[in-house]
Amino acid sequence: MSINKDIVMQNVQRFGGAMFTPVILFSFFGIMVSLSIIFKNPDIVGSIATKGTFWYNVWYVIEQGSWTVFAQMPLLFAISLPIGLAKKNQARACMESFVIYVVFNYFVSGILTLAGPSFGVDYSLKAGGGTGLAMIANIKTLDIGMLGAILISAITVWLHNRLFDVDLPDYLGIFKGSSLVVAAGFFFMLPVAYFFCLVWPSVQHTIGTFQEFLKASDALGVWMYTFCERILIPTGLHHFIYTPFIFGPAIVDGGIQQYWLQHLQDFATSAQSLKEMFPGAGFSLHGSSKIFGVPGIALAIYATAKPAKKKAVAGLLIPATITAVICGITEPLEFTFLFIAPVLFAVHAVLAATLAATFFLFGVVGSFGGGLIDAIVQNWIPLFKYHSTTYIMQIVVGLCFTAIYFFVFRYLIVKNDYKTPGRTEDDAEDKLYSKAEYKAKIAMEGMINVDERDIKAAVFLGALGGKENIKDVTNCATRLRVTVVDDSLIKGVSTFTKAGAHGLVKNGHAVQVIVGLSVPQVRERFEALLQDTSDAETASGTDKSTTLKAFISGKVIPITKVKDEMFSQKMMGDGIAVYPETEIVTAPADGEITMVMDGSGHAVGMRLSSGVEILIHIGIDTVKMEGRGFNVFVKQGQKVKAGETLVKFDKKLIEKEGYSSIVILAVTNSSEYPLMKLYSGMTAKADETVIATF
C-alpha cells in the first residue's frame, strides 16, 4: 500500500496545531505560579511574606490553584485535543476523550494490580518520580504523561469521526452518538492498556537513556534543539520539537517548565549555579531570540528601507516586534521576510541556536521559551538576588546578539538586494481585483464599517479555491491550517497579504495562512462561510454556520420570557418563542426529524444539516390534550426542507381548554454554538424572517 505524502503532511500539521490547544494555558498559569512564589518570598517582599501571615496564606491558596494545569497535564491534553482534531461535535468528542482516557488508566491499574511484576513494574510503590507510576484522576497508573494522553485522545477522535453519526436501528437508539463512541473506546482500550503495560517500562528506560545523552551533549545539544525548533516554524512542525521537552518527558518527567516552577523556590534561595542545579533547563532557552534577536531583525529591515517608506515600515514593524518581544509570538514578523528571502530565515535559525548555546555556556538556564513577560516573572524577579551576575551577563550577551542580528541581516539584505518591506518598487502591482479583495482593501483602510475578520475570512476562502476546495480547517496560535482538494487553485501570496495575512505556507494540499493572534475569530468566520448555503461574499452577520427562519408567523419573544421554567431557565437550551398568528409550524431550515411526540403531536425534534439540534414545542402543558387539535405531517427519520409543513394545530381549541398556544423553539445543543445570535421583538413572517444565526 502506497503512502500519500500529502495526506501524511496534512495530518501531521493538523495534529501539531491541535497540540497548541492546551499549550495556550501554560503561560498564564506559569506566570501565576511564579508570582505566588515571588510574593511568598520574604527576601523579595519583606516580613509580610513570613509563613503563617495573612499575606502568605492568600498567596499559598493562589499558588495551589495555579498548579492546576501542571498537576493535571495529561488530563488537559486528553480533553482538549479533540477541539482541534474532531471534525464535528468537538464538545462531545472532548467528553468522550475524557471518559475513554480514564477507562484506559483504570484498565492499566487493574492489570498492574494483578500482574505488575510480570511487566517489570513494582505496583506496590507510591506513585512519583523514578517509580514509573503516576496518579491520574486519582488512579495509580503507568507514568505515560502527556504522550499517552495524546495517543488516547487521537484514538478517541478517530473513533468519533467514524462512529458518531452512525445510524443504528431504533431499538438501539440509546447507543447512538457519544454512547457508541465510548462503548467502542471501552473495548478498544483493553488491548491498548495491555500493550502499554507490556512495552512502556522499556520505553521509560529508553527515555532515561536519551535524557542522559542530551544532558551529556551540553551546549551542542542545546544548539541542535534550538535550531530544529526555529527552522521548522515555517512547516508548523516545531510543536513536535519543543512539546516533549517543555511539557513532556524528554528531559524530566512532567517537562522542563513544570520542574522549573516546582523548584523555583529552591533556586531562589540558593547561590549555587542554576546550570549546576538544573542543566536540563538549557533546552528552554529557545525563546531567547524572541527577546534579543527579533529587535535586531526589525532594525535591519527598517535601516535598509527607502527613506520615503521608513515611516510605513515602522508602522508595520513596531507592533510585530513588540508582540514578539513581550508575548513571544514571532511569526507575524518572521513571515514578513520568510517568503521574500528564505535564506534569511535559515540565518535566523542558526543565530537563534547560537544565542541559546552561548547563554548555556555562560551558565544561563531557565524558563525562557516565551517572551519578556515569562523571562521577567519566571526568572529575573524571583531569582535575581542570588543570580544577578548570571542575568546581567545574559542581558549583555543578548544585546550583543541584537547587534549581531542587525549587522548580519543588514549586510545580507543590502548585498543580495532582498526586497524586504520598504525596499520594494514604488509603483504598486497592477492586477484585477475581485469584489471581496476590493472590500478587503477598503476595510483595511478603515473607509467602511466592516469587521476586518469577516473580510479576511472571505478573501482567504476565495484565495484557497472556494468552499468546494476545502476539506477541513483548524488553527494554532497564529495560523489558519487548511487542507485543500486541489492545491493548484490557491492564489499567490500577495492575495493573502493584501487582505492582512503575514504570509502563506504550502505543503502540497496542506496550507497554512499566517493570520496572527486573531486567528481563532477568523477561523470561526471561515467555517461560517464554509457551511453557509447563501451566496454571501463575506461572513459579515453570519458568525456561525446556520440561519434559522421563522417557523410560524407571529410576535417573537426571548425564551426567557416564556411562562414555563423548563424553557425560561434554558433547561432545554437557548432559543426564542412566538405568539402565533397562524396555525402551521414549518421547518426553519433543512434537516432530519429526530423526534415526534407520539400520542400528543405537540413537539417535534430536528437535527439540521449543520449539526444544530432543535426542539419545536407547541403550547405549554398541551401534552395533556392527548393529540386533540394536532395534526403531524412528518415522522422520525424523515428528511425535510426549510419551509416544509411539520404540524398543524388548532389554536382556538388550545386556548379554549385553558392552555397557552405559544410556540417555542429551543436549540438543545446551544452550548456548542457560543456565537449563536437570536432575534426577537419583531413580528415574524413564517419562512421569511430570520430568527437565528450561528
Residue 355, H or E segment: helix 342-361
Distances (CA, A) of 463 to 387, 476, 494: 52, 20, 10
DSSP state, residue 625: G
Q: Are 387 and 274 in contact (CB under 8 A)?
A: yes
The residue among 362, 369, 365, 354 whose CA lies nearest residue 401 is 354
- The residue ranges of DSSP E strands in 517-620, in sequence order, are 547-549, 554-558, 574-580, 584-586, 591-596, 603-608, 613-618
Question: What's the grid cell of residue 598?
Answer: 407520539
Q: Are 584 and 554 in contact (CB under 8 A)?
A: no
The residue among 300, 332, 532 whose CA lies nearest residue 402 is 300
- Residue that is written with C-alpha cell 432530519 in the block: 592
The CA R_g of the chain, rounded to the nearest whole Å, is 29
How many beta carbons lie within 10 A of that of residue 441, not counting itself?
Answer: 15
Q: What three-state secondary structure class fits 596?
A: strand
How many beta carbons lie within 10 A of that of residue 382, not counting itself?
Answer: 25
Q: Are 294 and 333 in contact (CB under 8 A)?
A: yes
Distances (CA, A) of 599 to 335, 623, 632, 666: 63, 9, 10, 21
Q: What three-state secondary structure class fits 538?
A: coil
Catalytic residue of the set 94, 197, 228, 476:
476
In angstroms, the CA 494 to CA 480 distance is 16
Question: What's the grid cell of residue 264?
Answer: 523555583
Q: Is 197 a catalytic residue?
A: no
DSSP state, residue 593: E
The residue among 385, 380, 351 whose CA lies nearest residue 366 is 380
How many beta carbons lie within 10 A of that of residue 505, not counting itself?
Answer: 20
In angstroms, the CA 694 to CA 518 distance is 19
Residue 54, H or E segment: helix 54-66
Q: What three-state secondary structure class fits 421?
A: coil
Q: Which residues are catalytic?
A: 476
